[in-house]
């Protein structure tokens, strides 16, 4: 629908290269949420984020027991601006409906009002992540060994800070990187199709944000059974 110039610009800037919060703002979120600063909560904490999206940015860190983790920190003041965002959408949608009665997207505002608080609650995200993995292990054991979600460090997570196991992997759209790992793209494609079919038709609980920054590919750990290549 959109010209390639729009698509490429948004793809390059919106997935993980959004404007970043300053380290002082990150420290402020930690102080509010955990009561301590990141440099004391962790043995090491990289002040420069490895990625930044619209809701949060991710920092690499090391726990005091030597585990490398990815720390997702919500942008400061996001709760305040989200209220304004919803009010703006409400105004625009109602104005369009008044001018063009057949163009009725007022349902969208209700959807946003319901989903926005959940999106801003990282504990909800963490619970969904664990539930997703449990679903595959219980309901789809034939591909469960090829599906993984990073371990959540609950003692280092809050509604605005999410600490998870750091995993080095390639983005699902990085065909060259996937080939360099010795993995066939067709196997990745088959696995993605099977995984989503299982979620849709068996689990009834579906990952609905499957862009490249949210789906990663790595070789199976050495002790795993190799189901795909």
- 209 is annotated as an active-site residue: yes
Q: One of 65, 80, 168, 209 is an active-site residue; which one? A: 209
Pairing assessment for the beta strands 68-74 and 216-217 based on DSSP bridges: unpaired
**Pick from 178, 159, 164: which is nearest to 218 by CA?**
178
Within 8 A by CB and 6+ apart from 84, the residues are none
Catalytic residues: 209
């Amino acid at each position: 629908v959109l010209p390639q110039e729009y698509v490429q610009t948004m793809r390059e800037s919106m997935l993980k290269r959004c404007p970043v919060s300053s380290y002082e703002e990150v420290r402020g979120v930690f102080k509010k949420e955990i009561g301590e600063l990141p440099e004391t909560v962790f043995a090491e904490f990289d002040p420069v984020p490895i990625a930044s999206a619209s809701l949060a940015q991710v920092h690499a860190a090391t726990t005091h027991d030597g585990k490398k983790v990815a720390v997702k920190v919500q942008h400061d003041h996001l709760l305040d601006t989200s209220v304004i965002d919803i009010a703006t959408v409400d105004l625009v949608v109602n104005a369009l409906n008044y001018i063009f009665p057949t163009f009725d997207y007022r349902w969208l505002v209700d959807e946003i009002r319901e989903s926005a608080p959940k999106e801003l609650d990282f504990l909800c995200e963490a619970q969904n992540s664990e539930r997703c993995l449990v679903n595959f292990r219980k309901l789809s054991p034939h591909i469960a060994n090829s599906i993984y979600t990073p371990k959540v460090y609950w003692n280092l997570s809050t509604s605005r800070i999410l600490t998870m196991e750091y995993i080095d992997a390639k983005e699902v759209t990085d065909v060259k990187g996937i080939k360099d790992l010795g993995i066939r793209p067709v196997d990745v494609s088959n696995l993605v199709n099977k995984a989503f079919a299982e979620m849709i038709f068996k689990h009834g609980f579906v990952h609905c944000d499957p862009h490249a920054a949210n789906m990663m590919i790595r070789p199976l750990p050495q002790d795993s059974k190799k189901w795909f290549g």
